[in-house]
Chain A
Amino acid sequence: MARALIHVPASAKKGDVIEIKTLISHVMETGYRVGVTGQPIPRDIIDDFVCTYNGEEVFHAKLYPAIAANPFITFFTVATESGTLAFSWTDQHGATQVQTAAITVE
């Protein structure tokens, strides 16, 4: 399991625009490089990222080989209700990692 760092404000006022920051450890190997002996290094990337807020999709990104290693994705959403933000990264092999963060909305 890759290591991920997520920043979500612990609490917010209803209607506030909140910033969410996510960082995940991944090589994001492009598939265009060769190793020291000249053999190609196989492509290995995360190609999909989704954030859901109490089950509703609020952010969705497609990732391509031009994205640097350890993708850092930051975006904004509106704090509507207390609950859970779920983040899921899916790599090209279909493996998915999900991490969650709680938010309290007053």
Chain B
Amino acid sequence: MKALLLGVTRSLMRAPSPQRGEGWGEGVPTERPEPPHPALSPLGRGRRKHLAAAVFIISTLLVRGTLAADIPLDQRRSDSDFVSADTRAMQNDDTANPAMLAVLDGETLWNTKAGETHQSCADCHGDAAKSMKGVAARYPAMVAEQDRPVDLEQRIMMSRVTDQKAAALPFESKELLALTAYIARQSRGLPVAVKDNAQAKPFIAAGRALFEQRQGQLDLSCAQCHDDNWGKKLAGNLVPQAMATGYPIYRLEWQEVGSLQRRLRNCMSGMRAEPYDFGAPELVDLEYFLMWRARGMTMESPAVRP
């Protein structure tokens, strides 16, 4: 039944839809050589179908070569290369980049006393331009308090709750995003330098597994778009390589600043998959893998995206 439903979904997707116009079905491969699970293979469709499938697989492999391979290090490009020149100009001009409003809010929060201890971030960390330089480029990272990595937002929250003894800020709250944007801004221009030591490797591997895992009703993986088909078009937009060097970002579609987790959840809904909750370990693993994948690339936070 599942296989049948899947077949129906796929044939619907392949049919050119007059409403969506061209491009939707073309940019994203809806057929992949190997079904991820035996239950999803086209059982019971007869031998001819199997033969056709085999021919399709072989021809696809011949045409496309190896699939889902990592992008070679020297071919990696910033996601800014895939946006319009206007958007790029907006990002690189501090007086035009709307995320700078959040950065300024973050600077105010950095110097605001909070919590039972009545201390500000600056009381311990001093000038963020010095103490927070390069910090965002090293997150997600393992923390001593947990045997798991945390991302920058979670790290800020840990400090806020355990050190300042202040009330937790909800994920995607204006304040948390502002602090994150302010701290991330201090790493602009520096290379991404997340750790990939033995302690972190299992989490990066888990992130990669999720990146390559087909999911949702569209049965897509992140890798199918961002490893195999970057530079092609999905609807009107170029598919970027998903190098997460500019977070938190100001997304014009959102008309506000948002985190990498929000963006990941966005993509998951797009694949018709159920997104993980904010703060879920799976999302942090995925963030870790994405930053590792962008290792050595230049931080652009806060970036502007369409």
Contacts and interface: CB of A to CB of B under 8 A. Distances in A.
Given A68-B255, A69-B256, A70-B255, A21 B101 contact: no
Contact of A23 (B96, B105, B252, B255): B96
Contacts of A6: 95
A25 interface: yes
B96 A3 contact: no
A103 to B, nearest CB: 15
B283 interface: no
Contacts of A69: 98, 255-256
A52 to B, nearest CB: 20
A72 to B, nearest CB: 6
B137 interface: no
B104 interface: yes
B98 A23 contact: yes
A38 to B, nearest CB: 20
B98 A21 contact: no
A7 B95 contact: yes
B100 interface: yes
B104 A72 contact: no
A94 to B, nearest CB: 23
Contacts of A23: 95-96, 98, 100-101
Please indicate which of the listed interface residues B95, B104, B252 has the most CB atoms of chain A within 10 Å of its own CB: B95
Nearest to A68: B255
Interface string B270-282: 0000000000000
Given A5-B94, A21-B95, 10 more contacts: A3-B105, A6-B95, A7-B95, A21-B93, A23-B98, A23-B100, A25-B101, A28-B255, A68-B255, A74-B96
5 contacts: A5-B101, A21-B96, A25-B101, A69-B255, A69-B256
Interface of A: 3, 5-7, 21, 23, 25, 28, 68-70, 72, 74
State the 4 A-B residue pairs at the shortest beta-carbon distance, nearest first. A69-B255, A7-B95, A25-B101, A70-B98
